[in-house]
Amino acid sequence: MTLLTIPTQPIDGQKPGTSGLRKKTPVFMQHHYLENFVQAIFDATGGAAGKSYVVGGDGRYFNDRAVQVILRMAAANGAAKVIVGANGILSTPAASHLIRKYQTDGGIILSASHNPGGPNEDFGIKFNTPNGGPAPEQVTEAIFAATGRLTEYRIIEVQDIDIATLGPQMLGDMHVSVVDPVSDYADLMETLFDFNAIRAMIGRGFRLRFDAMCAVTGPYAREILENRLGAAAGSVVNATPLPDFGGMHPDPNPTWAADLMDKLWAEDGPDFGAASDGDGDRNMIVGRRTYVSPSDSLAVIAANAHLAPGYAGGLAGVARSMPTSTAVDRVAAERGMECFETPTGWKFFGNLMDAGRVTLCGEESFGTGSSHVREKDGVWAVLMWLNILAATGKSVADLLAEHWARYGRTYYSRHDFEALDADAAAAMIEDLRARLPGLPGTTASGLTVAAADDFAYTDPVDGSVSAGQGIRLTFEGGARAVMRLSGTGTSGATLRLYLEHHADGPDGLTLDAQEALAPVIRAAHDIAGIAEKVGRTTPDVVT
C-alpha cells in the first residue's frame, strides 16, 4: 500500500445542484474528475482525519468503481472508519438512517436519483451532513469553492477491497465495516408502522404491486413487503438492481411507470400499486383505477399519519416545497399545525426537522418523508399508505374522495419541457422575471394576475436567505402557476411548469386534472411566451 499525493488542477463546472453534482457518466470517469470532487468534500468540511463516514449508492453504472475510489481517498485523508453497504449499495434514505444511527461525520452518496443510468447516461455524488440530510447551501458553496482551489488530492494505491462480504476489515489504518444495506432500514420501519395490521390486511386478500424499476429499492421492498408483511411472491417486480436499470427510466410517474398504471387499471388489477426511483427516495402511489398526485399524497398522509404507531402523538408541523400544491396547507390549518413553504430541495427541510418544528415534509416531485431520517423516503411513504389503508379499511379511491369532500380538491399538475436550449430557456426566465412588477392586474386567457414574484426564502431557524427560487404567478380566485429551471438534469435545460387550481366542492371534484387546469395552462403559456421563446407547445412529461 502506497500513499500518493496526485497533482491536479481545478475542473470547471463542479458546482453541486439541488441534489449534489450530476453529470453524464463519461464525465465522472474522466481522469481526476471524481477524485477532485471527493477531495473538495473533505477539504471543505474540515478534513477527514479521525472522522467516520457512510458510503454507498444506487448501484448504477460506475457505482462500484466510485466506491473503491472514495474508500481509498478516505483512508489517504486519515478517516478513522467508513461504513459501506454491501457491494456499494445503499438507498439514499437507508444511508441517511445509518449516518444518524451510528452518529458518523457524514456520508457520501452516489446517485443521480431518478435519472437514467448506464455507460452514457447519468451519475451523481452528494455529501450528507452528520444530521443525515443533504448538505445545506453554505456547505455546497464551500465544496464548490474548494473545487476551484485544488492543486492535489490524496489516495492510497492498493488492490480493491472486498465489499461483497459482510463484516469488518482494514484499509491501511482505516476501519471498513461492510453492512447489509437493508436490515437496519427494515428494522426502523417496523418501529414506525403497524406491521401486524398490514400483514392481516394482506392475509385477507389485499393485493399489491410494487415496481422497483430495476433500481435500488428492489431488495428493500422484497424484504419488507414480501418477507416481513407476507405479500405474495412476485408482488415486487423489476426487483433486481441493474447498472442501467434494465434500460428503464427510474422515475416513478405515470409516464415512466406506465406498466404499473396499466396493471392498476386492469379489470383484475391489484388493490394498491406503488413505484420508487433510482435511489429509493421517491414514490408514486396508485389505487385501483386511482392515481394519487404527490401533493394529494402529502395531504392525505398529513391528515391520517396518527394512525401509524410511530406518529400516534400527532405531527409537530408540516413543510412543503414552494411548487408543491397548497393541499397540505388546508390540513395543517384545520389541525392547528405550523406549515412551512420552502424552496425545492430536501436540504431546506433539515433545519426545520432538527429544530422540532416539522415531522412531515413533501415535494411535488414524488418525494415524501418524515423526521425519521433527513431524506425523502419512497418505501416509507408506501408503508404509511398501507398502514392508513389497514387502519381505516378503506380503498385508495375512498380515502381520496373523503379527503376532497372534507378539504376540497386542489387540482395539480407538473409539465416538464426537457432538453431545451439552455440559453433560450434562461433568457425566457430572465425576461419573465424582469416583467414581474408589471404583471399584477393584467389578464391572460381570461385569468387576472393577482400577484407575481420570484420566490425567496428566509430560513426560520438560522436566518439564511435563498433567493431566485422560482417564479410564482397567482391569479384571482387562487389558481397558481410556478415556473423554474430544474437543477437535476445533466443535458440542456428542463423547464418545469407547475399548475394549481382549488375547488371547494361539493361540486367539481371529479374532473380530469388537465381539464380543470386548462385555463391556468393557457395563461401560463401566454404570459411566459413558451412557444415563442423555447419553441415548445407540448411538454415531454406530464405528472
Q: Which residues are catalytic?
A: 113
Strand segments (E) across 204-243 = 208-211, 236-237
Cα–Cα distance for residue pair 134/522, rounded to 1 Å: 36
Identify the bridge partners of residue 122 per DSSP, sorted by sequence position.
Answer: 24
Could you tell me the CA-to-CA distances from 459 to 16, 315, 442, 455 in Å, in that order?
20, 20, 32, 13
Triad 519, 252, 20: Cα angle to 5°: 100
Terminal C-alpha separation, the chain: 51
Look at strands 81-89 and 52-57 and give their pairing.
parallel
249: phi then psi, degrees, rounded to nearest 5: -95, 105
12: phi then psi, degrees, rounded to nearest 5: -65, 145
Q: What is the 3-state secondary structure (H, E, C) of 30-56?
A: CCCHHHHHHHHHHHHCCCCCCCEEEEE
In contact, 318 and 339? CB cutoff 8 Å: yes
What's the DSSP call for residue 317?
Answer: E
| Max CA separation in the chain (angstroms) | 73
DSSP labels for 121-177? SEEEEEEE-TTSSBPPHHHHHHHHHHHTT-SEEEEEE-PPP--SS-EEEEETTEEEE
Peptide bond into 437 cis (omega under 30): no
In contact, 340 and 117? CB cutoff 8 Å: no
Cα–Cα distance for residue pair 77/109, rounded to 1 Å: 18
Please choose, from the candidates 345, 351, 359, the residue with its C-alpha nearest in 3D space to the C-alpha of residue 126.
345
**Grid coordinates of 441:** 392586474
CA 358 from centre of chain: 18
* Residue reference for cell 481526476: 32
What's the DSSP call for residue 224?
Answer: I
In contact, 87 and 59? CB cutoff 8 Å: yes
In contact, 447 and 519? CB cutoff 8 Å: yes
Q: What is the 3-state secondary structure (H, E, C) of 255-312?
A: CCCHHHHHHHHCCCCCCEEEEECCCCCCEEEEECCEEECHHHHHHHHHHHHHHCHHHC
Calculate helix-pair angle for 92-101, 378-392, nearest 10 degrees.
90
Could you tell me the CA-to-CA distances from 112 to 252, 254, 490 in Å, in that order?
14, 20, 9
